[in-house]
Amino acid sequence: MNATISATYSSRRAGLLWVAALLLALLLPVLITNNFIIHTLTMALIYAILASSWDLLFGYAGQSSFGHAGFFGFGAYAAALLTFHTGLSPWLGLFAGGAAAALFALVVGTPSLRLRGVYLALATLACAEMLRILVSNWYSLTRGTLGFSLDTSFPGIPNDTASHYYVVLMTAVISIASMYFLAERSRIGLVLRALATDDIRAQALGMDILKMKLLAFAVSGFFAGFAGALYAYVIQLVTPAETASSITILVIAMATIGGVGTIVGPAIAAIVIHVVTEFLHLGGTVYDQIAIGLALMLFVLFLPQGIAGLLRR
């Protein structure tokens, strides 16, 4: 009885904390008038979606991906090109970018998922690098290293920093909540956790493990591409740098510091890390990398469950 009351109280307290955090996030553009800070928070929310999408694939399905930047960049290029050449509304372009990245994830996953461990990671990294080389050299379509620029933003809202922040905040909350529900509150999440624990036993129980792994790749790729499309419409410029392996490494660090297998932890870590590193950029170009490396070592050694573990306590 006491345990039930305690659990109910903890659940309500957690709910109140999340509501308070959301209200604070909604009030930030009113409280903070500095456009640089609001833009930094906007980009941090985009990275929060990306980090959570990687955690969905690795933390729940147990599939190592070192090519997540490829899904992010593919979604960004797909959305930008569709809007530029066909006049597709950015509101629809978000889902088009996600769908294109999900399709790319299926193309990558179909041959790669027959591998395991480090071989799977290297295969996904190779696919992302091939995409980076392609967009860097296909000048007639992507404009190469100069980048593909847009002059179109979200219709129906002002094209300013505060409006972009609210759009990204809304989509980030919906995306992260959807991934959390899928991973923690659905049968699909239960099957994915079974695959991550022991895929051979899951196959013996009658699960189609290749189909479920492909589903995990597609869903993770969709949200990564969705984040890429958001990035394209907010920045209004897409370059081959968005497909670089350094983004994947950063996302893995965010997920590790946040707590692998929690969805919410990597999102929180992504926001904190991006904001801190942007301010460290003001002091020099290497201080952010040193800070991330140091934080990663400390969390791995002393807090292996990450920020999510601290929140549980």
What's the pLDDT score for residue 288?
Answer: 67
| Residue ranges covered by each domain of the chain | 40-245
What's the pLDDT score for residue 6?
Answer: 53
pLDDT digits (tens, 9 = 90+) for 77-90: 999 999 999 989 99
Task: In whole angstroms, give the CA distance from residue 57 to residue 217.
Answer: 6
Phi, psi of 272 (to 5 degrees): -65, -45
Task: In whole angstroms, give the CA distance from residue 38 to residue 164.
Answer: 9
Give the residue-averaged pLDDT of 282-310: 72
Q: How confident is the model at residue 114 (pLDDT cuts 50, 70, 90)?
A: confident
Residue 72 makes CB contacts below 8 A (sequence gap 6+) with: 50, 101, 224, 225, 227, 228, 231, 242, 243, 247
Q: Which residue has the tokens 């301010």?
A: 279
Task: In whole angstroms, give the CA distance from residue 193 to residue 242.
Answer: 30
Range from 4-18, 56-70, 80-94, 148-162 carrying the lowest mean pLDDT: 4-18
- Measured from the Cβ of residue 216, the count of other Cβ atoms closer than 10 Å reads 29
Assess whether pLDDT exceeds 90 at residue 92.
yes
Task: In whole angstroms, give the CA distance from residue 101 to residue 79.
Answer: 10
Cβ atoms of 311 and 265 closer than 8 Å: yes
Q: What tokens were used for 102?
A: 């999900």
Q: How confident is the model at residue 304 (pLDDT cuts 50, 70, 90)?
A: confident
Task: In whole angstroms, give the CA distance from residue 228 to residue 221.
Answer: 10
pLDDT digits (tens, 9 = 90+) for 229-287: 999 999 999 999 999 988 998 999 999 999 998 999 999 999 999 988 888 777 665 66
Cβ atoms of 18 and 268 closer than 8 Å: no
Q: What tokens were used for 174?
A: 């919906």
Instruction: Kindly report whether the global pTM for this prediction surpasses the value 0.95.
Output: no
Task: In whole angstroms, give the CA distance from residue 266 to residue 268.
Answer: 5
Assess whether pLDDT exceeds 70 at residue 10.
no
* CA-closest candidate to residue 82, choices 69, 96, 95, 99: 96
What's the pLDDT score for residue 113?
Answer: 82
Q: How confident is the model at residue 205 (pLDDT cuts 50, 70, 90)?
A: confident
Q: Supply the CATH classification number for the domain 40-245.
A: 1.10.3470.10
What's the pLDDT score for residue 171?
Answer: 96
Give the residue-averaged pLDDT of 284-306: 72
Give the residue-averaged pLDDT of 168-173: 96
